[in-house]
Amino acid sequence: MSWVPAEQVIAAVGNQRQVLAAEEARVAGFVQYHATERAKLEAERAQAIHDLGTAVLPRLDHASIAAAAQAVGLVGLPNENVPAQLETRRAWLASRLNAILHDPRYAQRELLRHPRTGSLTTAIAQNEEHRGPFAAIIVMCEQHPRFEGLWGSGFGTPEHSASWWRYSYWQDRSAADELVTKFQGKTSFAEVRDEYARAKETVLVFDGELRNLRAQIAEGEALDREYAALYEEHRTLDARGLEHTRSRIVQHLLGIDAAAVSQRLRSSPATSGLLMLFLRASGIAAKVSYLDGIQQANLGEIQKDIALQRERLDGVETRTRRRWAPMALDKFQKLAEDRRPRYEKRWQRFGKTYNTVYVYDRYDRGRYYEDFLWWDLFTRGRYDGSYLPEVHHYYQSHPGYAFDPDWKTRAAEQRAAESDTDDAGPNDAGPNDAGDVESEAAAAAAFADSSSDDGDTSGDTTTTDAS
């Protein structure tokens, strides 16, 4: 059997650690890349949600609310009488604002809390100034290391009963003399004790007064903040109510299966105009969720593998350095195996799936399907997404689901079945597919920049059926 010397084994361990460090840096780079791209998608999603909300509820009146509720199936919304709730809130805000305006703590805020001339501010400054000398007496006494013992034992009073022949007695006496010299005009420690006791009582009074003054200032400042917040709410109440109601409606739409909402909006000419806006908002939301899942799942596997390899390398190095023994050739060959091609293949497979989802922007094609999952539309059914919770749940809850990537035939059949003209829908002819290819190429280049890899299809899998 052939053997490899320990020096060569340690060198191989070092080389493998360099490979792992490079992969860790690659992972960190992609995390940053994903964060950047996600921020862009979040901005798109916010705009899409705003556009959908504006279209579904242009105004906050009874007629508009009823029409929106009918369109999206939120049947209980009109009964809430949102305009009346707003008027009730407006009346309360006006009443509270008027009460604050007449509250002396707010109405006389300049007189009370002006930084230089306010009565409360001035009172605090005067109390702190008068408190200062008494606080200085307390500090002077308590800074001496033996003062606490002198005070506690009653030194300087008739109650003090320490024997004069004890060494501690003379230590206390010497400390008492030192303290007396710090107080001009004092001749005994008993006088110092009296001065300290008066200072403690006086400081206690001043502290109580300062707490009261500062509490009054805090109450006035709280009223200032409350008035500012309520005034802004009163000024923008209609806009806030409209935005809140729009948000409720949009969240209701996005919380339902996209195919079901698409069918509902497509079924009526009155709501068909909302269909494209909904598909865009729903598609972008699904894209953000999918990309998060793709990144977490794939980078998690890579990080787990790196941690496992690092643990193995640590074990090999520890055993080798302990005995400085050679390693069998077959084991060394496994140790020194170049793992970079394996990582490269994983990155290429990961990048292909990520890019395919990222570049997709033909959300309008969802209108051609009675039942669909955004994952299959994004990937044209070519990639298995069952490791994503939302995809797995959809397949489990739709056992008969099968995706047909031939959307063009579906579009032709749908247009043929409609009695109206098809001018309202965007043209899905071949040139748009070319645009998809160009977008995929651009995103693939961006991914390659972030991970130093080119795209590869060797890891593609095909799935067109829920099973």
SS (H, E, C) 264-315: HHHCCCCCHHHHHHHHHHHHHHHHHHHHHHHHHHHHHHHHHHHHHHHHHHHH
**Residue 465 DSSP code:** B
- What is the rounded CA–CA span in Å between residue 317 and residue 309? 12
Q: Is 229 in the same domain as 287?
A: no
Q: How far separated are the first and last CA of the chain, in Å rounded? A: 51
- What is the rounded CA–CA span in Å between residue 56 and residue 49? 10
Q: Is 216 in the same domain as 359?
A: no
Place of tokens 């090999």: 316
- What is the rounded CA–CA span in Å between residue 460 and residue 467? 18
Q: Is 124 in the same domain as 210?
A: yes
Whether 230 and 158 have beta carbons less than 8 Å apart is answered as no
Q: Is 30 domain-assigned? A: yes
Are β-strands 3-4 and 327-328 bridged in parallel, bridged antiparallel, or unpaired?
antiparallel
Place of tokens 């074990």: 315
Q: Is 50 domain-assigned? A: yes
Q: Is 8 in the same domain as 148?
A: no
Q: Is 196 in the same domain as 310?
A: no
Q: Is 76 domain-assigned? A: no
Q: Is 263 domain-assigned? A: no
Q: Is 287 domain-assigned? A: yes
Q: Is 128 domain-assigned? A: yes
Cα 281 to chain centroid, rounded? 21
Whether 100 and 106 have beta carbons less than 8 Å apart is answered as yes
At which of 177, 203, 235 does a domain end? Answer: 235
- What is the rounded CA–CA span in Å between residue 16 and residue 342? 13
Place of tokens 């969240």: 251
Domain with 118, as residue range(s), is: 104-235
Q: 340-359 and 430-451 helices cross at what angle (nearest 10)?
A: 140
Q: What is the pLDDT of residue 163?
A: 66
At which of 207, 235, 263 does a domain end? Answer: 235
Q: What is the pLDDT of residue 185?
A: 79
Whether 106 and 112 have beta carbons less than 8 Å apart is answered as no
Tokens describing residue 369: 């399907």
Q: Is 437 in the same domain as 294?
A: yes
Q: What is the pLDDT of residue 57?
A: 95
Q: Is 315 domain-assigned? A: yes
Q: Is 7 domain-assigned? A: yes
Whether 138 and 203 have beta carbons less than 8 Å apart is answered as yes
Per-residue pLDDT of the chain (467 residues; tens, 9 = 90+): 689 999 999 999 999 999 999 999 999 999 999 999 999 999 999 999 999 999 999 999 999 999 999 989 898 999 999 999 999 999 999 999 999 999 999 999 999 999 999 999 999 999 999 999 999 999 988 888 878 888 777 777 766 666 666 666 777 778 888 888 888 878 788 888 888 999 999 999 999 999 999 999 999 999 999 999 999 999 999 999 999 999 999 999 999 889 889 888 888 777 878 999 999 999 999 999 999 999 999 999 999 999 999 999 999 999 999 989 899 999 999 999 999 999 999 999 999 999 999 999 999 999 888 888 999 999 999 999 999 999 999 999 988 888 888 888 878 877 777 654 444 444 444 434 444 444 444 444 544 444 444 333 333 443 334 33
Exposure of 285 in the CB half-sphere (CA atoms within 13 A): 21
Q: How many domains does the chain have?
A: 2
Q: Is 128 in the same domain as 200?
A: yes
Q: Is 309 in the same domain as 423?
A: yes
Q: Is 43 in the same domain as 180?
A: no
Q: What is the pLDDT of residue 446?
A: 45
Question: With the CA atoms of 122, 126, 131 and 132 taken in that order, what torsion angle do they form, in degrees rounded to the nearest 10?
Answer: 100
Q: 119-142 and 189-235 helices cross at what angle (nearest 10)?
A: 150
pTM equals 0.73
Q: What is the pLDDT of residue 455?
A: 38
Is the C-alpha dihedral spanning 299, 292, 375, 444 positive or negative?
Answer: negative
Q: Is 110 in the same domain as 40?
A: no
Q: What is the pLDDT of residue 164?
A: 67
Q: Is 109 in the same domain as 224?
A: yes
Q: Which residues of 219-228 are buried (b: 16+ CB within 10 A; e: fewer)?
A: ebeebeeebe
Residue 342, class by beta-carbon neighbours within 10 Å (0-12 exposed, 13-18 middle, 19+ buried)? exposed
Place of tokens 């005009």: 185
- Residue 398: strand, helix, or coil: coil
**Residue 366 DSSP code:** G
- Residue 241: strand, helix, or coil: helix
Q: Is 283 in the same domain as 231?
A: no
Q: What is the pLDDT of residue 424?
A: 43
**Could you tell me where the DSSP H helices lie in 102-236?**
104-107, 109-113, 119-142, 147-153, 167-181, 189-235
